[in-house]
Structures are given as structure tokens and as C-alpha cells.
Amino acid sequence: MNSSNFFAELKRRNVYKVAIAYIVGGWALSQGIAQVFPVFDVPTWAIRVLVVLIVAGLPVALVLAWMFELTPQGIKRTETADAMPAATRRKKHVWIYVVVVGVLMSVGLFLLGRYSAVTGAPRPITQPEARPGFQSQTATVPDKSIAVLPFDNLSRDPDNAYFAEGVQDEILTRLAKIGDLKVISRTSTEKYKSAPANLREIAQQLGVANIVEGSVQKANDQVRVNVQLINALTDAHLWADTYDRKLLDIFSAETEIAKTIADTLQAKLSGSEKSAISKKPTANPEAYELYLKARFFWNKRTGNDLKTAADYFQRAIDADPSYGSAYAGLAQSYLLIPVFGAGAPREFFPKATAAAHRAIKLDETSAEGHSTLAMLLLFDFKFKESEDEFRRAIELNPNYAPARFWYGECLMYLGRFVEGIAQINRAHELDPLSLVYSSNLGWAYHIARQDDQAITQLQKVIESDRGFHMAYFYLGMAYESKGMYEEAIAAYKTSRDLSGGYPGITGLGHAYAAAGQRSEALNIISQLESDLKQTNRVRATAFSIIFSGLNDRDKAFEWLEKAYEQRYEGVIFIKVQPYYDNLRGDPRYYDLLKRIGLNP
């Protein structure tokens, strides 16, 4: 049979018509399966199998169309049907009706899908109990949003509290790597109990629809983890389970918990995300326990606790030199020790850089390693490399609030205010109860010269917590930019009193100078000179800021040069910091900008 006769025979035997009808009908059926089955909690793999079977059925349908024909007398082989009188053969218009019905079904299911997408989209809820400064009165809550509350420590030994915190942290970290989920950071959940009665109120404060609760019981190398997933808006218990594991098998349980939660919330996981949440960071039980103790102290965020954390991270590395997460934690500790006034950048930043590089070499997917390295590159004035590392960290873990926050700060230093505020605001959404992020959002508005917005934001933060000194410091900056010196001085004094001095005293010195109270500003400089001999908390930029307020440019640039040589992080503010506005016309200002690598 030649090709032209073969295609004519295909047409005569209705193979073309069957193909069109099957494709249209199969498409409509696939759409129906995809829309309806998830409502009945049919697993995703089952839906995929059915769709594959529909596709595989096409060649079977074409073979049957070649071999058989539908007649008024029933299904007959094609040869038999051909021998029948024409009057007894069915008119061949059935395929048209099949196509029309299939098209109508497809359109109907498409519209149903669009309607479902709208009704299933994030929905606004009213939250009258939300803390001022952290959530608006009406917020949009995505269905695929979740907060992991602290796990109860059911062990007889209360010293095992660090282990319960570690399990919670590991589950949260795995969930945070799933881009299709919104996962609230630990710093916003740590203030709640594991099984509170007011779940709906907590969910509203955190801006989530779902809550994970759990408990951990550890005895020697045996661990039991109880966990449950609750829709806080409806109080529906979506899933619960108990896991009994050996100590080092806890990683598989944490992975299984994260995957089950993602499946329950119908979150889509990419191949790289599946791999990321399945990783076993160490095979050494001693190293793992030392790592959890390190995180326990790291989360306290004081200078001394960070040094204790660094010691535990180092001990974990000594127990397992291939433990990438321990290197990342060590890098983060060394980065923050100078920031919290417990050491000098020149002493700790090189150690932090080495640890961050090692963390990334051992685990290229470490968002913690990439974001820490990004900050260190930023402080070393390598802005492009820093931004590349920040983007990589966010790509690896879109829910990692510190990476968003630090990247936002980087963009603000570069003068890219719209992008910077967006990143800091995203960090604030992921960690809505964080005083640091909510206050720094006000700082970002101030740096962008949006002082009215800055004042509004910072007053909300202070209303929610009157003991956080940085909110008063940033509020003083905004007041001062508006020429409200009396209010600025009051805010700076409150910041100074709450913090024990810094950085509020620096702003106070500048405000005194700007308000014409020169002797008070000089007294503060004398105090700083005395403190400089006794503490690491005094930065060279503190002197440059006050001398700038006094309009003593020579002294201001002298101290800025010291800050540049010592790589104090504050020097990168020079491009955008309102404190330095009166230095901008000086050639030394542009020379320093050039050496730092910033465009005027």
C-alpha cells in the first residue's frame, strides 16, 4: 500500500476523527481530574498516573479505530462493516458531537478553574488583636502560609530544651526552602507556647493560615516527635503523626514531616527543593548535639552568647569536619560578634569569611553561608559580589528573612531605595513580630528621605514595645531630619538610657550639634574618647557623625578615614546617610566614595 492510499484508508476508517475526538475528550477529562480530585485529597501522584494513562490510551484508540467500526448492529470488524449494505451503516457524524461536547467541557472546566483560583486565593481577614506596628488591621493571608510554634520539651531533663528547639528549627528550615510556601521565621514564633488556646489570634498576628504544633521527648539516643498541622482559621486538624527514631534518624523524620506538610497544603516542590529538604547534614550524633546547643545560644543574640555559640559550632566542626551547617553557623557568629559590640571587625571578619567559604564549599545550597558571605563582601566594599551572593541565598531559600533583610540594607546603602524597602518589607512579612525588621523598615523610610512615613512606622513599633532602643534611635534620626530637635534629643536620650549608651549617644551628640548646643556635643565626644579605651562598642563613625554635626569637616573626614581603614561597617553609609549631608560638596567626600566603590 503506497502512502497516498494509506492516508486515504486512515480517513475512510475514521482514524482521523477518532484521534480528534480522543484528544479533545482526553483533554477535557484531564482538566476535570486536575480540578476535582484535589478537593477529595487525592494524592498528586495518583493524578499524574491517570493523566499518563489517558495519554497512553491514544495509540490504543487509533488501533481500535483502524480495526473496528460502530454500526447499528454493534461493534464490527472494519472488513465486516464494509460488506454491509450502506443503508444499515451508521452515519459518521458521532465524532462531531464528541468534539463539541469535549470543547464545551473544556471551556466549562477552564471557567471553573478560574473561579476556583479566585475563591481559593489569599483572603483578607480582620485582626483586631494584632500588635501595632507589625500587622495592619486587615491583612491578606495566603492559604499556603505556615508558622511552626515552639515544640514542647517532654524530656525528664529540662536541659534538653535545646534539643526540642533544634527539632523545631530544623523542620522550619526545611519548610522555608519551599518557594511555594510562606514560612514565618523563628524569631516571630519563639514568644508563643507550643499549644496555645488562641490559635486564630496567633495566626492573625503572624499573617498565616496554618499552624504546626509539636513536642519532643529525648532519652539517650531515642527520640519521639509528635507533630500536628492545624488550619488556624477554621480550627480544622489537617494532619498529625508520631515519629519514633534513633538520634541520627531524626533527620529523616524532619524531612518526612516537611514533605507531608507541603503535600497537605498542596505546595509545589521543584526537584532542587526536594533534594534540599532531604539532606542529612551530618552522620555524627555528637556533632549534631553540639550544633543544636550552638544554635540555642546563637538565638539569644547577645555578644557573650554569640561567643558561646561560636565555641559550640567549632566543637561541632571538630567532631565532624565536613559539617557544612556548623561552618555556616560559625560564620554567622563571627559576623555578628562585632555588630553586638563584643569584638573588632578586623579580628572576627576574616574568621567569618573563611568559615563562610568553607560552608559553601561543603554545601553550595547553604543560604546561611551565601548570605553571611554577602554581608562580609558588603563590608569589604565588594558590592557586585555581595549582591550576587544575596540573590543566590534568596534563590536557595526564599523564606530566609535575614537574607532579605540584609539584601535590603545593601540596596539602601547603594541608593536603590525602592528595591531596598521592598526587600526589608518582605523580611518584615516573613518575621512580622521582629522588632529589628519593623524598626529597620522605619530606618529605610528615613534613609529614603520619607521621614513622615518613618515616624509613623517607628511610633507603631514603640507602641508595641517601649523597651526597644533602636526604634527610639531611628525615630530621633527622622525627627532631626525634619528639624524637630527637641523631639530628636528626647528620643536619642531614651535610646541611650535603654541601651546603656550606644548608638543613642552618637545621635544625641549630632542632635546637640545641629541644634546649636555645641558644648553638650563636645562633652559627648569627650565621653566617647574615654569609652574608646575601654569598649569595642565605640565606632570611628560615631566621631565622624558628631564632628559632621559640628561642621568640623577636617575632624569628620579624619575619623571617616579611620573607619575606612578599619573596615567598620558604618562607613558604607556615607553615600545615603543624612548625617553627612553637609560633607557632600567636599572633594574628600567624592574621593572616599570612589575608594569605597560607590557612585556619587
Handedness of CA 478, 484, 485, 488 (dihedral sign): negative
The stretches of 210-320 forming alpha helices (DSSP H) are 250-264, 271-277, 285-298, 303-319
Quick one: pLDDT band at residue 567, thresholds 50, 70, 90?
A: confident
Grid cell digits, residue 249: 534518624
Second CATH level (architecture) for the domain 136-278: 3-Layer(aba) Sandwich (3.40)
Give the residue-averaged pLDDT of 378-399.
94
54-112 pLDDT, tens per residue?
878 778 777 776 676 666 555 666 666 555 555 444 445 555 555 566 556 655 654 55
Out of 118-122, 287-291, 299-303, 399-403, least confident range: 118-122
Which residue has 566621631 as its cell numbers? Answer: 543
Predicted confidence at residue 76, as pLDDT, reads: 60
Burial 514-541, CB ≥16 within 10 A → b, else e: bbeeeeebeebbeebeeeeeeebbbbbb
DSSP 145: E
* DSSP states along 101-141: HHHHHHHHHHHHHHHHHHHTS-EEEE-TTPPTTTS-SEEEE
The answer, yes or no, to whether residue 365 has pLDDT greater than 80, is yes
Q: Helix, strand, or coil here: 16?
A: helix
* 239 strand-pairing partners: 229
pTM for the whole structure = 0.71
* Residue 76 φ then ψ, to 5°: -125, 155
Predicted confidence at residue 378, as pLDDT, reads: 94
Predicted confidence at residue 138, as pLDDT, reads: 41
The answer, yes or no, to whether residue 125 has pLDDT greater than 90, is no
Nearest to 317 by CA among 358, 374, 279, 348: 358
Which long-range contacts link 132-139 to residues 24+ away (Cβ below 8 Å)?
132/460, 132/463, 132/464, 133/438, 133/457, 133/459, 133/460, 133/461, 133/462, 133/463, 133/464, 134/205, 134/432, 134/433, 134/438, 134/460, 134/464, 135/204, 135/205, 135/207, 135/432, 139/204, 139/207
**Cα separation of 534 and 550, whole Å?**
25
Quick one: pLDDT band at residue 212, thresholds 50, 70, 90?
A: very high
Classify residue 469 by burial, with Cβ atoms within 10 Å: 0-12, 13-18, 19+.
buried
Which residue has 567559604 as its cell numbers? Answer: 357
Predicted confidence at residue 121, as pLDDT, reads: 40
* 316 strand-pairing partners: none
Which residue has 514560612 as its cell numbers? Answer: 183
Predicted confidence at residue 299, as pLDDT, reads: 82
DSSP 488: H
Strands 68-71 and 222-231: unpaired
15-44 pLDDT, tens per residue?
767 777 778 777 767 766 655 554 444 555
**Domain-wise residue ranges, the chain:** 3-119, 136-278
* Residue 139 φ then ψ, to 5°: -130, 150
Which residue has 518613618 as its cell numbers? Answer: 454
Grid cell digits, residue 551: 561642621
Grid cell digits, residue 396: 536557595
Q: Helix, strand, or coil here: 54?
A: helix
**Cα separation of 542 and 527, whole Å?**
11
The answer, yes or no, to whether residue 132 has pLDDT greater than 50, is no
Contact 213, 192 (CB under 8 A): no
Predicted confidence at residue 97, as pLDDT, reads: 57
**Cα separation of 63 and 47, whole Å?**
26
The answer, yes or no, to whether residue 185 has pLDDT greater than 60, is yes
Predicted confidence at residue 192, as pLDDT, reads: 80
Out of 19-33, 112-126, 490-504, 558-572, least confident range: 112-126
The answer, yes or no, to whether residue 345 has pLDDT greater than 90, is no
Predicted confidence at residue 308, as pLDDT, reads: 95
More confident position, 203 or 344? 203
Quick one: pLDDT band at residue 126, thresholds 50, 70, 90?
A: very low
Predicted confidence at residue 50, as pLDDT, reads: 74
> Angle between the 504-514 and 485-499 helix axes, to the nearest 10 degrees?
160
Nearest to 352 by CA among 567, 117, 65: 567
Quick one: pLDDT band at residue 441, thresholds 50, 70, 90?
A: very high
Quick one: pLDDT band at residue 221, thresholds 50, 70, 90?
A: confident
Predicted confidence at residue 108, as pLDDT, reads: 62
Give the residue-averaged pLDDT of 408-435.
93
Predicted confidence at residue 534, as pLDDT, reads: 76
The stretches of 340-468 forming alpha helices (DSSP H) are 345-362, 367-379, 383-396, 401-413, 417-430, 435-447, 451-464
> Which CA distances in Å does 565 have to 232, 375, 408, 461, 591?
53, 18, 25, 36, 14
End-to-end CA distance of the chain: 79
* Residue 233 φ then ψ, to 5°: -80, -25
Q: Answer whether the bond into residue 196 is a cis peptide, omega within 30°.
A: no
Predicted confidence at residue 167, as pLDDT, reads: 86
The answer, yes or no, to whether residue 405 has pLDDT greater than 80, is yes
Contact 187, 399 (CB under 8 A): no
**Cα separation of 351 and 363, whole Å?**
18
Percentage of the chain beyond pLDDT 90 is 48
Residue type present at position 227: V
More confident position, 51 or 165? 165
Nearest to 207 by CA among 278, 83, 272, 122: 122
Nearest to 162 by CA among 351, 308, 368: 308
Quick one: pLDDT band at residue 147, thresholds 50, 70, 90?
A: very high
Which residue has 480530585 as its cell numbers? Answer: 37
* Residue 90 φ then ψ, to 5°: -65, 140
Out of 106-120, 134-148, 315-329, 556-570, least confident range: 106-120
Quick one: pLDDT band at residue 408, thresholds 50, 70, 90?
A: very high
More confident position, 339 or 421? 421
